[in-house]
Every structure is written in C-alpha cells, then in structure tokens.
C-alpha cells in the first residue's frame, strides 16, 4: 500500500509532537518531515517532496501565507491549514484559502493536545481527503469541517420529508447552493458574476464555526449582491445570499408568501453541521418548483439525496461537472441518483442561478 507522505510545519513543539504521534499510528500515512517554520520546511522538501502539507499560518521567519504562495507558484501541492478558532485566525485562514490551501483543521486556542488526540481519526481523514484533490484546480479552494466524530445521521433528524407543502409556482425564486472541499473559491467565482438583481440565495458551505462570518464578509466585499452570514428568521430576498453559520443547520421555511431561514442547533447530518441535505430538503418542502438547487465541488455525498428531493418536487437541479471540481464527490453522488437535470462547468453556474443558462 502506497502511503500518503506528509510534512508537518508548525512552530508549536506540542502540536508537532502530538500530530507526529497520531500519524505514526496511521497505516496509510507517513510523516516524512516536521519543521518549526517554512525556512526549515523548504530545506526538507528539497530532499523529499510531500503529498500533503499541514501548515500553521502564524510562524517566525516566514509566515504561512508567503510560504503557501511560494508552493503554489513552484509546485502546487495540497495544503491543510492548521488554524486557531479566533477572529484573527479566521481572517488569516481565509487569505490562505484564497492563496490555494485546500482545507482547514480548526484547533482551539487552549487544550490543543487533548483536542488533537480526541480528533485523531478525523485528522487522518482530512489528510486522506486532501491527498485526492484535483491538483489542477488548486486555485479553487474551500474549507470543510470534518473534525467532529459522529454517526452518519440523515436529514430526518432535523426535518421530515415534504409532502405537498410547497406553494404552486410563483414569481419569487429561491436558489440553494451546497458545497464542501473546493467551495470557497468556487462560490467566489459564481457569486461575483451575479448582478444586483438576482434571486434570493441560501448557501451551505462546510466550514468550521467562527469562519463563516469572515468568509461572508469577504464575499460581500467582492460581489455586487449582498452576502452575509445568516441569522435566525432572516428573510430571503432578491439580491441577497445567506450563508449558513458554521456549527449550525440552516433550513428554509415559509410564512405566507415570504421565505425565511431557520438557524438552529441539532445533530450532525452526513457528519456535517451545517448539512447540505438539511437545507436542500427544506427547500424542496417549502419552495418546490419555485427553487433551483446546485450541488458543487466537495468530498462525500452530503446534498445528493436532498438534491434528489428537490428534483422530485419540481425544482431545477444542477450539478457541477467533474473537470471544474476540486473534488468530484458530492456532484458525482447526486448525478448517480439521477438528481441533476443538468451538469454544468463552474463558469456557467451563475447563468443557472439567473435562469438563463
């Protein structure tokens, strides 16, 4: 069995020691080097290039962002960012994602050793996921929250399937987007092409708690439409995109002729919170044929069954194509279920949102 070669770069001796101990017990992963900063890391990479790099962002001599940009310019390689769950950490991590990082490993500011030990299996899973990304699409990145172990519940734990609850066709349209690995840059590519006048949009991007607000602010600064993190009972309006908060589920609901979102706690669904399946099911139930659903790049199958429910409810459904995905997991599973009426490249998804593609 070929092992995944990993380089650990972190200025914390505790983090390096704990991660090394964890990964040495993982049969399919081999740590080929550890380094306390990017300068040492480059010396070690000259001798053996890794398959995946686990990188802190705040380090001496050279910061992680500069190092990451150098890697992506010279030899694109999957990079996992190991970042603290702080406002400063979130802002820096989003810069890393924009520069080409593939995922976030969110660590607390205290109790890191016990946290990493508790999350050993999920940490290894994040490395395996990074190792299979489409390196040719490393310019389009995302964050995803995998560091919470749970049974694989389905959307039933949050919302019963719909049964004739949606209104008949109206002029008010709802667009639901779901994505994971590769999604931060994919969403940027789509939302920044939309004009101010467009349907109301609800989005689940697998992302750890505390990162979604900064992510929404970044997209808002780049887009013609308004983009922000969703709040409970927000109304879905034309020209507005609402992003589910990390660590919370988001569901569409209806009050009279108006659509709102519910933001709530609940168990993980498909190992995620927020879950694309939960959002898509709610859209199928309350918007039906008044909605469009788009499933985008991501690892796993979250959203595939929900998109099928939207399809069955009469919604327009789209899957991102393999060539433009960083990871062709979620769209592939949706296509296998017959949930997608069309398969489109990333560059055409904004047209599907506008109903002209």
Contact of 145 with 206, CB cutoff 8 Å: yes
Cβ contacts of 66-69, under 8 Å, gap ≥ 24:
66/38, 67/9, 67/38, 67/41, 67/42, 68/96, 68/99, 68/100, 68/101, 69/99, 69/100
**Can you spell out the DSSP letters for 211-249?**
THHHHHHHHHHH-SSEEEE--TTPBP-TTEEEEPPTTSE
- Name the active-site residue from 206, 249, 272, 350: 206
Distance of CA 352 to the CA centre of its chain: 20
- Name the active-site residue from 36, 83, 144, 180: 180
Helix, strand, coil % over all residues of the chain, rounded to 5: 35, 25, 40
Active-site residue, 180 included: yes
Distance CA 237, CA 260 (A): 9
- Name the active-site residue from 301, 302, 324, 350: 302
**What amino acid positions are annotated as catalytic residues?**
180, 206, 302
């Amino acid at each position: 069995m070929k092992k995944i070669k990993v380089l650990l770069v972190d200025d914390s001796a505790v983090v390096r020691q704990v991660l090394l101990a964890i990964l040495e017990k993982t049969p399919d992963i081999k740590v080929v080097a550890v380094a306390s900063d990017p300068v040492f890391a480059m010396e070690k990479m000259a001798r053996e290039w890794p398959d995946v790099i686990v990188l802190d962002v705040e380090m001496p001599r050279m910061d992680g962002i500069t190092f990451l940009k150098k890697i992506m310019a010279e030899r694109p390689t999957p990079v996992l960012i190991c970042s603290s769950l702080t406002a400063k950490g979130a802002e820096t991590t989003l810069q890393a994602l924009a520069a080409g990082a593939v995922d976030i490993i969110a660590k607390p500011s205290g109790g890191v050793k016990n946290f990493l030990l508790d999350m050993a299996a999920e940490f290894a899973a994040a490395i395996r996921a990074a190792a299979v990304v489409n390196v040719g699409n490393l310019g389009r990145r995302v964050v995803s929250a995998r560091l919470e172990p749970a049974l694989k519940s389905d959307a039933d734990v949050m919302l019963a399937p719909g049964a004739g609850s949606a209104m008949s066709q109206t002029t008010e349209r709802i667009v639901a987007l779901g994505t994971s690995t590769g999604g931060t840059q994919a969403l940027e590519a789509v939302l920044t092409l939309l004009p101010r006048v467009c349907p109301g949009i609800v989005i689940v991007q697998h992302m750890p708690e505390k990162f979604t607000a900064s992510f929404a602010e970044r997209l808002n600064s780049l887009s013609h439409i308004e983009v922000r993190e969703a709040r409970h009972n927000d109304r879905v309006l034309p020209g507005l995109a609402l992003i589910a908060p990390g660590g919370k589920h988001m569901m569409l609901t209806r009050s009279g002729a108006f659509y709102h979102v519910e933001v709530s706690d609940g168990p993980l669904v498909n190992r995620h919170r927020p879950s694309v399946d939960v959002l898509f099911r709610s859209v199928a139930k309350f918007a039906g044929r008044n909605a469009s659903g788009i499933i985008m790049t991501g690892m796993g199958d979250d959203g595939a069954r929900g998109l099928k429910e939207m399809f069955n409810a009469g919604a327009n459904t789209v899957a991102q194509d393999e060539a433009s995905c960083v990871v062709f997991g979620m769209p592939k599973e949706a296509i296998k279920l017959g949930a997608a009426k069309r398969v489109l490249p990333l560059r055409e998804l904004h047209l599907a949102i506008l109903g002209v593609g």
